Chain A
């Protein structure tokens, strides 16, 4: 018999009883009963029990079998027999039969294993629990062994299945898979690029794509009309536990379409994908604007598997006498809160005050939290005494509060801060109190994002600069106007995670130019970075839009794995490192020399004197925070050069006297300090008399962004 006649272990069953079969695979587990030896033989299809016993197998085969160890790769010939009643193993699919071996060939031996691989017990009713303490790095170092485990193989098979469904479905819908380059141009799209040096152009670099964004838009200009690709993308971002430097994206783009087309296309496609995991998603997916999402959950990817959405209580306190609220509202702030229904028994005063108000919520960035327990006859808290009756009634009404509820509120002058802190609090409480139902999938489209976000220097794109705004009549110089723009972008969110997102793109060169202007990019910069792309917009670019989906994350969600590394064959670990290949690694200097990379950066190299002086002045501009203009530069450089000479002079004449900082001795001049006095100028407000800008009792300055 040759391998061509080989059958698969996991597919054998009662109909095969009596057949002679040839099997090949790995020894999953062994059980030695002296005369008789049982093994589990495993191939990709599953496991079957093989019996070596003196009768059917013969002494020679039995002797050979006695030398088997876990994970030997073997070839077995034998006859399928029905197991004796009472010895069936329902834990494996082939549990009703076994194979009585007649021949055994060891194809390849295995050394001592770094961790156990078998996941199935040989004894009926007992589950072989794999030791979960195997460290992930060890698993990754021996990934080829880790991937022998049926669970891991199942993940890869299902991943393949999901991808196949995507390809088939998109093919049905007229999409064409087109490959785009991996070696491309570095463009500022948000994250840092992975760079690849070029040998032919020393000190020049390709970049690995962060997404095929520009190429897929170019394909639309080319008239491909419907493109997709399951494509690897690369981002050199800060490490996060569930982030990979390279990841797979389902990327698609279509011309002559509106948002509704993509919603419907994507809903049908994701419904089909989730069926692989036995999940039936309800269509249509609900939609929510970004503003509603922030106002209700404090997140742009709301987890709506549970309630506890925000209520705004700002108006309840319009005329409040409570100092803290009064001050916050006076500065244009807001107050939002949540009602933790019926949880007052589990949220004691102590937990609320000492854990949440003092530790947890400040950790979310809020200055404080107001808590109230709803009891018979009203509210109980350390601060309700400061609230008027009307305010107390207002709270009860606004939060539809009943006895046993706990109301938590956050107040701050900053709306984003209130949303963000309360959003984190909502998730924290839901997690702690077990309010999140398992096995529920809640897909949601989030729409109407702001087109721009404010930064220290102006604005930046929330999505990317090719996103179509909701209005085109804006002035790119006016930050306020820019920040009010919405984008025609949409995110697909599920259970608090973003699965994908996209937008309708700009296909008008003039509009695209104005967006770049708004972003503060100079014409030269735009030309340098995007010239090739903008040129394409001058040749009849069709209206188009698209969307992308993070395949790793979606597959992980479909299969319910704790991390995306479980659905990637050879992932990097949490530190973006590959324990299997030890990548990244240093390279020989000869390699660097060949690429012209040895003398980049110039650290430690002396620069010509003039340049150094120039550097010194600029350094001093920065450390002393005094700007200079070109007319002053020469005088200042001369003065600094003088200072250097003076420094040399004093150094050469210093002597060994103690340094004197004052010609008079002044010691122990203290004031009593036991009675404090509020300054009359603070009382009269004169303290602000000379202030360039004052606001609500504070000195106002330009943003300090930390």
Chain B
């Protein structure tokens, strides 16, 4: 077994018929997306030996659409960041696409680093049933792939209402099949001026190159303002830490997961099992969550108020332009090397606004390049405008191919 996979499927599934939309497409999943009978430990000792009883809805749909599930990759503990993550590396090694959780930008940042396309759909579009998640109000199943078409095919299959996920909103489906191949401008793209401060000189140059590429296919670029931009991180940190602490409440070693041999009474059993289950930086993140829950609930409520404002400001700005454009990653902040909560956040500064607001965002490789460094071009759209966003990305990508 290669270092990329934690579990490799023996592909015994009957070959899909030619009519199946995903016939022959090879998909790798993170081990926090439930596959019945597969070990799914979400990269955590908390789930040591855990084998789901049911397929995640996403998996059910992929299987019935004829996709081949090649195995599961390694992942950061409970999907918090990218430490130890290998799913995107699998794209060169046996898989066509990777289904991975995007909680603060993981799918986009990982793709940008490896030079692939990465997509995080609108919140509420894909069922969370079977997703062993951490931050329910911000995370969703994203897709990384070598080309946008396979991403669109996967999204066509996995998006849409699921009776097993009652938290999905009552909204008409997003029609990915109508995504025009080769979106022709003109469209208006905004750059958030408050975000530019985050970039160093090289990154600013690379971003400019990306913007030039967009202008070349007819996009009108304008500078816009999101006054609350600097608060995205604090809001994400507060809300996500609280939700993570709640989500991790189930890891108590009673019904599944790792149980410490220590502990002659339940208090000791809890302390020891949970203590042994989590590693840094997740453990520190859970402590932050516990701090807000038990010591400063007011801060959590304030963060939720600001979140409301940020969603409103973002919606307003996206009323004036079609998309917002950002770089995807910052070179000096390597998400794989992040060992602390603070370092994890630093590496997702540019991607987490989409998670706070539930907006779709796509990462396009090969255009925000300077001195041979590709920092990735990230385009974020209105919620539920996923199809148009992907077609704009296709247009940019084709222009890159054309040179």
Contacts and interface: CB of A to CB of B under 8 A. Distances in A.
Given A628-B283, A660-B304, A703-B265, A690 B271 contact: no
B296 A647 contact: yes
A620 B306 contact: no
B200 to A, nearest CB: 23
B137 A638 contact: no
Contact of B270 (A457, A625, A640): A625
Given A640-B291, A643-B292, A626 B305 contact: no
A675 to B, nearest CB: 15
B264 A657 contact: no
A705 interface: yes
Interface in B280-312: 280-281, 283-292, 294-296, 298-299, 301-309, 311-312
Contacts of A620: 287, 290-291, 294-295
Interface stretch (A238-246, A572-580, A648-656): A648-656
Given A663-B123, A691-B255, A701-B254, A626 B286 contact: yes
A212 B231 CA distance: 68
A165 interface: no
B311 A640 contact: no
A459 B302 CA distance: 49
Given A650-B238, A660-B304, A690-B49, A632 B291 contact: no
A650 B299 contact: yes
Interface string A623-664: 111111100100110111011101101110111111111111
Nearest to B383: A663
Given A627-B275, A689-B51, A654 B302 contact: yes
A656 B254 CA distance: 42
B268 A702 contact: yes
Interface string B233-268: 011011001000100000011111111000111111
Contacts of A644: 291, 296
A650 B231 contact: yes
B53 interface: yes
Interface stretch (A277-285, A467-475, A665-673): A665-673
B204 interface: no
Contacts of B278: 626
Interface string B75-86: 000000000000
Contacts of A671: 166
A3 interface: no
Interface in B21-35: none
B257 A690 contact: yes
A662 B275 contact: no
A669 to B, nearest CB: 4
B331 interface: no
Given A642-B288, A655-B305, A661-B137, A703 B241 contact: no
A640 B342 CA distance: 11
A681 interface: yes
B309 A627 contact: no
Nearest to B260: A627
B341 interface: yes
A639 B341 contact: yes
A692 B137 contact: no
B372 interface: no
Nearest to B284: A639
B174 interface: no
A334 B115 CA distance: 69
Given A635-B280, A654-B305, A690-B255, A626 B291 contact: no
A104 to B, nearest CB: 75
A441 to B, nearest CB: 43
A458 interface: yes
Contact of A636 (B123, B252, B287, B358): B287
Contacts of A687: 53
A621 interface: yes
Nearest to B358: A663
Contacts of B365: none
B340 interface: yes
A704 interface: yes
A660 B167 CA distance: 15
Contact of A626 (B167, B287, B306): B287
Given A457-B264, A635-B284, A650-B299, A664 B124 contact: yes
Most B CB atoms within 10 A — which of A619, A621, A625, A671? A625
B265 A457 contact: yes
A656 B296 CA distance: 18
Contact of A701 (B256, B266, B287): B266
Contacts of B383: 663
Nearest to B245: A624
A456 B264 contact: yes
Nearest to A684: B53
A124 interface: no
Contacts of B308: 657-660
A693 interface: yes
B144 to A, nearest CB: 23
B336 interface: no
B382 to A, nearest CB: 12
A654 B306 CA distance: 6
Most A CB atoms within 10 A — which of B50, B245, B272, B288? B288
Contacts of B259: 692-693
Contacts of B123: 663-664
Nearest to A669: B166
A307 B269 CA distance: 45
A522 B325 CA distance: 65
B173 interface: no
Nearest to A454: B264
Given A620-B291, A664-B358, A693-B259, A639 B305 contact: no
A478 to B, nearest CB: 14
Contacts of A625: 252, 267, 270-271, 274
A325 B303 CA distance: 55
A651 B306 CA distance: 10
Contacts of A201: none
A654 B50 CA distance: 41
A686 interface: yes
A536 interface: no
Given A639-B342, A642-B342, A703-B266, A692 B306 contact: no
A493 B95 CA distance: 80
Given A456-B265, A626-B287, A692-B259, A663 B312 contact: no
B357 interface: yes
Contacts of A666: 166-170
A619 B296 CA distance: 13
Contact of A692 (B253, B286, B357): B253
A650 B303 contact: yes
A702 B265 contact: yes
Most A CB atoms within 10 A — which of B168, B228, B265? B265
A427 interface: no
A458 B305 CA distance: 50
A5 to B, nearest CB: 75
A484 interface: no
Contacts of B309: 655, 657
A492 B252 CA distance: 47
Contacts of B289: 624
B118 to A, nearest CB: 20
A657 B312 contact: yes
B127 to A, nearest CB: 13
A656 B274 CA distance: 37
Given A643-B292, A647-B291, 10 more contacts: A623-B294, A624-B245, A624-B274, A636-B280, A644-B291, A659-B307, A664-B171, A666-B168, A689-B53, A692-B257
6 contacts: A640-B288, A646-B288, A647-B299, A660-B305, A664-B168, A691-B254
Interface of A: 456-458, 616-617, 619-629, 632, 635-636, 638-640, 642-644, 646-647, 649-651, 653-666, 669-671, 681, 686-687, 689-693, 699, 701-705
Smallest CB-CB A-B distances: 9 pairs: A627-B275, A659-B304, A690-B256, A647-B299, A639-B284, A663-B358, A654-B302, A624-B290, A660-B308
